[in-house]
Amino acid sequence: MKTVLSFISIFIFIFIFIFMLLITINQAQAHSLKENSAQIIMRDGQVEIRLSVNMARWQSLLQNNQAWLLGDIPQVMPKHLTKAQQGIFLSELISQNTQVSINDRVLKMGILYFPELTPIKNKSENESKDNHHHDTFSEIVLTAQHQQGHVNHISLALPKSLGNVHSRFVQPSYRLLKAGSKTQISFKRHLMANTKP
């Protein structure tokens, strides 16, 4: 009888432990913030930046007077703008404040694609903190042409209002894979990053 009770108590203990562990993992995943991200693609004669941006978070920061007073944004986005006017405001802000240079030559970035905006819903401060993981991310594509034969280094600065942006720099290598043959590619590049505020 003692063995059966001992077995049942161990089973209950393990069950409670696993249940608590699953709850903890679920809460940690639910409260993790997804950050804005960028993929910078350097092709022959062209640079393309594909941004994945939380548009609702970005717009609400740009409409925050305190962020302007602290110098986090260059100007406050008016709240009475139509969706089309908001799109123009945001696309101009990102194209004018994205600084890219290749081999120390400054490029002027243009908008290749900008998403259609959805109206911002006015939420209470507590509600927006609790629902931050439900925000959707939209893609913005910037592009510029360059005359550099070989890219030795690239310098990039995005608008401060986007916050931290997880970035991936890609320089595609194109090869023709002939039917039935094997192609081998060697990766010997060293990436050196120098980040300055």
The residue among 70 and 125 whose pLDDT is bigger is 70
Identify the band that residue 72 occupies on the pLDDT scale cut at 50, 70 and 90: confident
Q: Establish if 48 belongs to a structural domain.
A: yes
DSSP run (H or E) holding 129: helix 125-130
Identify the band that residue 184 occupies on the pLDDT scale cut at 50, 70 and 90: confident
Q: Exposed, middle or buried: residue 54 (CB in 10 Å: 0-12, 13-18, 19+)?
A: buried
Q: What is the mean pLDDT of the chain?
A: 82
Q: Exposed, middle or buried: residue 25 (CB in 10 Å: 0-12, 13-18, 19+)?
A: exposed
pLDDT at 93: 94
Q: Establish if 5 belongs to a structural domain.
A: no
Task: Give residue-wise pLDDT tens across range 81-113.
Answer: 999 999 999 999 999 999 999 999 999 999 999
Q: Establish if 190 belongs to a structural domain.
A: no
Q: Contact, 128 vs 60, CB < 8 A?
A: yes
Nearest-angstrom CA–CA distance, 150 and 146: 10
Q: Establish if 189 belongs to a structural domain.
A: no
Decide if pLDDT at 186 tops 60. yes
Give the pair of three-digit tokens for residue 83: 């969706």
Q: Establish if 12 belongs to a structural domain.
A: no
Q: Establish if 4 belongs to a structural domain.
A: no
Domain count, the chain: 1
Q: Establish if 164 belongs to a structural domain.
A: yes
Partners of 56 in beta bridges = none
- Among 78-87, 119-128, 138-147, the range scoring the smallest mean pLDDT is 119-128
Residues 6+ positions from 53 with CB-CB distance below 8 Å: 36, 137, 138, 139, 140, 162
Q: Establish if 184 belongs to a structural domain.
A: no
Nearest-angstrom CA–CA distance, 85 and 91: 10
Full-prediction pTM beyond 0.75? no
Amino acid identity, residue 196? K
Within 13 A of 35's CA, how many CA atoms are on the CB side?
8
Give the domain range for residue 96. 34-170
Task: Give residue-wise pLDDT tens across range 144-156.
Answer: 999 888 888 899 9
Amino acid identity, residue 30? A
Residues 6+ positions from 145 with CB-CB distance below 8 Å: 45, 46, 107
Q: Contact, 114 vs 90, CB < 8 A?
A: yes
